[in-house]
Structure 1
Amino acid sequence: MTDQAKAAGPPADGAGFVEWVRPHLPAMSRLAARLAVGADRDDIVQESLTRAWMKRSQYDGTRGSASSWLLAITADQARKAARRLRPVAELEDHDGADHRPDVDARLDVDQALTTLAARQRLAVDCYYFADLSIADTAAVMGCSEGTVKSTLSDARARLRSLLEVSE
Structure 2
Amino acid sequence: MADWEHAFRALLATRGSALRSYAYLLTGDPAAAGDLVQEALTRVFGRRRIGEDIDQLEAYVRRAMLNQYVDGRRRLARWNATRHLLVDVPHHDDDRVAVADEVRRALGTLSPRQRACVVLRYYEDLTVAEVAAELGCAEGTVKRHLADARAKLAPQLGVTEGSAP
Same fold? TM cut 0.5 = yes
Could you say what secondary structure the match of 1:39 adopts? Answer: helix
Which among 101, 117, 126 is matched to residue 133 of structure 1? 126
Where relative contact order (Cα < 8 A, 6+ residues apart) is larger, the structure is 1
The equivalent of 1:72 in structure 2 is 63
Deviation (angstroms), 1:122: 1.2
5+ residue gaps, structure 1: 1-11, 60-64
**TM-score of the two chains, using structure 1 as the length reference:** 0.59
Residue 6 of structure 1: aligned partner: none
Distance 1:157 1:56, change over 3 A: farther
Q: Which amino acid aligns with 2:24?
A: A
- Structure 2 length normalisation: TM-score? 0.59
Superposition deviation, residue 66 in structure 1: 4.8
Alpha-carbon distance in structure 1 between the residues aligned to 2:9 and 2:32: 23
Q: Kindly, what percent of the aligned residue pairs are identical?
A: 31
Amino acid at match of 2:136: G
Cα RMSD (Å)? 4.2
- The residue aligned with 1:13 is 3
d(CA) in 1 for partners of 2:88 and 2:131? 31
| 1:147 to 1:133, Cα distance in 2 relative to 1, 3 A | same
Q: 1:50 aligns with which of 31, 42, 48?
A: 42
Structure 1 or 2: more helix by fraction:
2
Within 5 Å, give how 1:17-32 maps onto structure 2: 17-18=7-8, 21-22=11-12, 23-32=14-23
Distance 2:155 2:15 in 1: 34
